[in-house]
Structure 1
Amino acid sequence: MKLAMKYIILYVNDFEKTMHFYKDILGLTVKMQQGTYVEFDTGSTTLSINTRQSAKEEIGLDVPDSSSSTQTFEVGFVVEDVPAAIDKLRSQGISIIKEPVTKPWGQTVAYIADPDGHYIEICTSIE
């Protein structure tokens, strides 16, 4: 079996706030929207959001009512200049969880979170 990552769906509490964050703050382009389900164009893998309530009602998934206080994954976005991206996000009122650092393998990484607390890594490419 060969698997290919096609999309990631984040279940969110406040659709409007989260939509503003990904579309207006991060600048992602909407590929498709059907009600509270939205797909953003991020390259080869699509990032999607949907409300927790919709996932329960329409899909039948047992999604908790609020995000967990401990995160078990992160979403990563590659940029050319991490410090510049973090400065831009900071100027837009986004809290920076971890300031940019260069890892021993040469990658620069920093962290923010979306309105539901999902970790977002802003990083340079590893090549």
Structure 2
Amino acid sequence: MRVQQIDHVTLVVKDLEASRQFYVDTLGMEVVPRPNFDFAGSWFRAGETLIHLILESERSGPAGVNEDGRNKNSRCTHLAFSVPDAREAASELEAAGVPFLDPPKLRPDGACQVFVTDPDGHVVELCSG
């Protein structure tokens, strides 16, 4: 067996519309058709990767990430998306009122990264080479 790529990431959320606004309106992802499952959700596309959202219910896991009292930061579990320019993305996020976990910073290899959270507290990194 050989894994080819990430097909999709599934996140459980409390509010599908708030999450749609973040992933589509703020991050610029595309809404894509979703099969007619017997539970609520939404699908978005970022390049070749799909983001599957499932509305929190008694049949799902909890929305967001498990909290253990520690602060979220760039070294915790997160999703990372490449963008053409992370500094420009940070300016757009700031204008949209999205708070930073970590403002734009350079990695030792020169890539620029910025960290924010989605409405349910999932940590999202935007990075550029």
Interval of TM-score (by shorter of Structure 1 and Structure 2): 0.7 to 0.9
Partner of 2:32: 31
Partner of 1:14: 15
Aligned length: 119
TM-score (norm 1): 0.82
**Any gaps of 5 or more consecutive residues in structure 1?**
none
Return structure 1 stretches of 4+ with deviation > 4 angstroms.
none
- For residues 28 and 36 of structure 1, the distance between their equivalents in structure 2, rounded to whole angstroms, comes to 19
TM-superposition CA deviations, 1:35-88 (whole Å, max 9, x none):
73222111222111111217x1xxxx5x13664225652111111211111011
Aligned CA RMSD, in angstroms, stands at 2.0
TM-score (norm 2): 0.81
1:64 aligns with 2:51: no
Q: Given residue 66 of structure 2, which amino acid in structure 1 is its aligned partner?
A: S
52, 57, 79: which one aligns with 2:56: 52
Contact 2:64 2:122 in 1 (8 A): no
1:2 aligns with 2:6: no
Query: Identity of paired residues, percent?
Result: 26
